[in-house]
Amino acid sequence: MGKQRKTWPPELKEQIVLAVLRGEQSVAELARQHGAAESLIHKWRTQFLEAGRARLVGDHVDHGVKALEQENERLKSLLGEKELSLYIAKKARGL
């Protein structure tokens, strides 16, 4: 039977990565302590730093969300105008 993968809670991953970044413990020590592969901790560290770097560069994700929210509002307004026009047309025909 194959080995099942361990699921790591985000809080624990963050705690481990921060301990590495602060120099409190080495990657090897933390790997032994938590039963994780050193390569996995290095991967988490890279992901953590890349996410932080993206935030500092300009937060492209938030700009995308804001653009979608603006488009959503524009479409809602347009839909409301079309529904009002349809309502007026039906009233004019006596429907």
| pLDDT in the model for residue 94 | 84
Mean pLDDT of the chain, nearest integer: 89
- Same domain for 52 and 65, yes or no, is no
- Same domain for 49 and 14, yes or no, is yes
Interaxial angle between packed helices 38-57 and 27-34, expressed in degrees from 0 to 180 and rounded to the nearest 10:
120
- Same domain for 73 and 48, yes or no, is no
Instruction: Return the H-helix or E-strand segment holding 47.
Output: helix 38-57
- Same domain for 52 and 90, yes or no, is no
CATH number of the domain enclosing 51: 1.10.10
Interval 2-47: pLDDT, tens: 678 889 999 999 999 999 999 999 999 999 999 999 999 999 999 9
pTM of the predicted structure, to 2 decimals: 0.57
- Same domain for 19 and 51, yes or no, is yes
Structure tokens at 13: 């991953």
CA angle 26, 28, 30 (to 5 degrees): 70
Instruction: Return the H-helix or E-strand segment holding 3.
Output: none
Interval 37-68: pLDDT, tens: 999 999 999 999 988 877 777 655 566 778 88
- Same domain for 34 and 63, yes or no, is no
Count of domains forming the chain: 2
Write out the residue range of the structural domain in which residue 36 sits: 8-57
* Separation of alpha carbons 9 and 7, rounded Å: 7
* Separation of alpha carbons 1 and 30, rounded Å: 28
